[in-house]
Each structure stands twice: as structure tokens, then as C-alpha cells.
Amino acid sequence: MNTINVDQIIRTDRKTIALIVGRDGKLMVRAPKDATNKQILSVIERKSTWIVKKQQEMIATYPQIGEKEFVNGEGFLYLGQSYRLKIIDRGDMPLRLDDFFYLDRSVLFQAKEVFIHWYKEKANEVISERVAWYSDKMGIQVKQIKITSAKTRWGSCSSKGTVSFPWRLVMAPVPVIDYVVVHELVHILEKNHSKAFWNKVRAIMPDYQQKIRWLEVNGHILKM
Ligand SMILES: [Zn+2]
């Protein structure tokens, strides 16, 4: 019974205690400001069967990710596919993707940096190419493309016509990358998420909502 961990308690003006299980199986409690720990624990105890069931369901339904360990066989995403890692001796470059990600043992101590460097290069290649394709198709002028380390957003657009994307976007399938590209390009024409904005997105990509859904479900696994 005491095996249930509360990962977060948020106290607000609400009147009742609510339990929320995240896609990572973490338990969040929303409680009134004056709720005592005893009251919260009593709700958790009463709902323990439901909590455990929900946690198992979330972990089974949504892909999970922990810290990377950089060990043989570990999966790394690129363009929506997971490739396993092989650590090799005397590789011709620090990191190379073929049927596996081949990482040279001599750079293992800085594996994370090596991967991020690789992802940044690929993001620049792939995203620049997609931006060129869609900006041409849509007749939009893009001044500059930036690859960033942003963690909380998938893209941004400046009033000067610079579009920015995080390198981790290159872990997503190409159709999802395309949606983010189209979204930012439309922002060059329409600053806000108005009806006109979404109409323009839909005109280019009728099934854009599927891509938004993909990012909602999988966005959290696109990271190092
Ligand atoms: Zn937007």
C-alpha cells in the first residue's frame, strides 16, 4: 500500500482533491490550499487500486524514455525510426548512422555531446531542405533558418523572417517535421493562431491535426 509515490502536489483554489496520472506514470495531486497531508494520503489510499492500474496503462500506452546510458543495443531516434547503438573501436568518425548508430569508443566519455552535435548537423540539413521545399511551394521568403537547443517549443518565427527549430525535431518522422515547418512558415503571414492561420495550414496540409496529435503523444521522447 505504501508503495505509491506522489511526484507532485499542486495546491490551488479548488475545492476537492484530484489525482492525475501522467503519460510517464507519475502521480500528480491537485488539492485545495488548506488540504492536509493526511487528507491527501487518505484519498491516495482509497484510490490506490485505480492509481496502480492507471500507471501501468500509461506506461504501456505511451513510449517511455529515461536518461540515455550509451550502451550497446540502446535505441536512438532519427526521422521517427529507432536505431540501436553499437560501440566500436577505431571508427572512421566519432558517430555514424547506417543500420546502427556506430559510436567510436574513444568518444564514449562525451557521447551525449557527440550525439547532439550529430543531431544538430542533420537537423540543419533535413529542416533546411524541408523549409526550402515548402517556402517555394507557398511563395514565402525565409531570411534565415536557425537550429536551436529549445526544449519547450517545436519552432518559432521572428518578424524579420527567421524561422527557428530545435535540433531534437529531427528525431521525429518527416511528415511531423513538415507540419512544424508549415506551421512556422504560415506564421510569417499570420502572426497569431487565428482562424485564418489554421485555414492556411490546412490548405497546405489537410491532415495537420494528426501531426499535432503525434507530437502531443510522442513529443516527450524526442530528447537526449
Ligand atoms: Zn504557432
Q: How does pLDDT run across 149-158, given as a tens digit for each residue? A: 998 889 999 8
Taking a C-beta distance cutoff of 8 angstroms, is the pair 76, 98 a contact? no
Domains and CATH numbers, the chain: 8-61 (no CATH), 75-115 (no CATH), 119-221 (3.30.2010.10)
Distance 68 CA to ligand 1 centre (A): 30
Q: Is the pTM of this model over 0.85?
A: no
92: DSSP letter: S
Distance 167 CA to ligand 1 centre (A): 18
Judged on CB neighbours under 10 Å (0-12, 13-18, 19+), 68 is middle
Distance 81 CA to ligand 1 centre (A): 26
Cβ-based neighbours of 49, under 8 Å, separated by 6 or more = none
The C-alpha atoms of residue 18 and residue 50 are separated, in whole angstroms, by 13
The C-alpha atoms of residue 117 and residue 133 are separated, in whole angstroms, by 25
Distance 100 CA to ligand 1 centre (A): 35
Q: How does pLDDT run across 133-171, given as a tens digit for each residue? A: 999 999 999 999 999 999 888 999 988 889 999 999 999
Distance 77 CA to ligand 1 centre (A): 25
Taking a C-beta distance cutoff of 8 angstroms, is the pair 70, 112 a contact? yes
pLDDT-based confidence at 92, cuts 50/70/90?
confident
Distance 84 CA to ligand 1 centre (A): 33
Distance 162 CA to ligand 1 centre (A): 14
For residue 2, pLDDT beyond 60: no
In angstroms, how far is CA 100 from the centroid of its own chain? 22
pLDDT the model gives residue 1:
45
CA angle 111, 214, 4 (to 5 degrees): 75
What kind and span of H or E run contains 49? Answer: helix 48-61
pLDDT-based confidence at 185, cuts 50/70/90?
very high
Distance 179 CA to ligand 1 centre (A): 11
